[in-house]
Amino acid sequence: MKRAENARVNYAIVGCGAMAMGHAAAAASDPRSAVRYFVDVDVSRAQALAQKHGGTAASDYRRALADPEVHAVALVLPHHLHCDYAVRAAEAGKHVFVEKPMAVNVAECDQMIHAAAGAGIVLFVGHVLRFYEANVRIKALIESGELGTPFFARYHSAQRPDFTPTRMHLADPKLGGGVILAGEVHHTDLMRWWLGEVERVRGYHLSVRPIYREMDSPEFSMVTYEFVSGAVGESSYSYATYVAGLRPQFKATVQFERGTVQVLSDGQMTIVRDASPNKPETVMTDASKAVSKEIPHMTSAILDGTPLACTPQDARRAVELCQAAERSAHLARDVEV
């Protein structure tokens, strides 16, 4: 693994939209991370972030790749660009952080993994649900065995219809991959993290509004999972659900042999134990800091060799499961994976 020569990792953040703001703030607050370049084809967006956080604004990605003081890139781009930009960074000897999904298909994931391995660089895909405090607590409960074996998990995410018009690239099958790859991929990764390997999926999807039908792109999806362990799961993602506020809402449930855990959008986590079902434990968790943990985690992987929270193989598998779910939805039958 190639490491930065000093105790700080200099990043080029490529793509300066909404998600880049969170990563820029995270780098600015981490003493071992810094942003040397903000890159965007709309240089005014790069300039806005550079003025706020320091660094140089640029419109040409090649400028950042040619700078030996840049140790890593953070790719916050439309999904169809992930593979090309990641491979070019690896070939330039730069470590790569890339937003989920890893790529728009498994073949591109394999190209990225091959390029990273050949260059000896860190490749980290930002599956942010692994950093949500409640999800981390659930993972710890699973590993501790405190509530016995989990046998069912459910995760639902929903956004208002007026949330997506400014982000239609997510719904475009050619750019973002559609609701399953752009949204449901969060859940497929989380389900594997919690319950282990998946052996079968069943996908469903719907197009509710005319604009989505014209794009031949669903805006609601549901996926059921069968796990090697015998557990089952179900998740859904919606761009068509009227929820209060513009922030996406989510609900999670995990059922164990000796208890149940539920999490709501506000972070309220309720644990019901078989020994005291009428006395549930309720704690408040915080998901707002999840994005801010990703860049420092990447920096720690580069400088210290810290194991990645989500490996490239994990991220590849999430894409593979999403492709299987899409295939299942078109075929109207289960698909083994």
Rounded to whole angstroms, what are the CA distances from 257 to 137, 264, 278, 289, 304? 17, 21, 17, 31, 38
Encode pLDDT of 224-246 as tens digits.
999 999 999 999 999 888 887 76
pTM reported for the whole predicted model: 0.94
What's the pLDDT band for 1 if we cut at 50, 70, 90? very low
What share of the chain has pLDDT > 90, as a percent?
84
58-72, 101-115, 179-193, 199-213: which has the minimum mean pLDDT? 199-213
What's the pLDDT band for 161 if we cut at 50, 70, 90? confident
- Enumerate domains of the chain plus CATH numbers: 9-126 (3.40.50.720), 132-288+320-336 (3.30.360.10)
What's the pLDDT band for 170 if we cut at 50, 70, 90? low
Over the chain, what is the mean pLDDT? 93
Encode pLDDT of 264-306 as tens digits.
999 999 999 999 999 999 999 999 999 999 999 999 999 999 9
Bridge-based pairing state of the strands 150-158 and 249-256:
antiparallel
Can you tell me the mean pLDDT for 92-106?
A: 98
What's the pLDDT band for 83 if we cut at 50, 70, 90? very high
Task: Tell me the C-alpha distance between 328 and 337, whole Å.
Answer: 11
Encode pLDDT of 108-146 as tens digits.
999 999 999 999 999 999 999 999 999 999 999 999 999
Buried b or exposed e, range 218-234, using 16+ CB within 10 angstroms = bbbbbbbbbbeeebbbb
Instruction: Please give the single-letter amino acid code of residue 198.
Output: V
What's the pLDDT band for 208 if we cut at 50, 70, 90? confident
Q: Can you give the pLDDT at residue 4?
A: 44
Can you tell me the mean pLDDT for 212-224?
A: 83
Q: Can you give the pLDDT at residue 177?
A: 67
Task: Tell me the C-alpha distance between 264 and 83, whole Å.
Answer: 34
Q: Can you give the pLDDT at residue 243?
A: 80
State yes or no: pLDDT of 5 exceeds 60.
no
Q: Can you give the pLDDT at residue 163?
A: 60
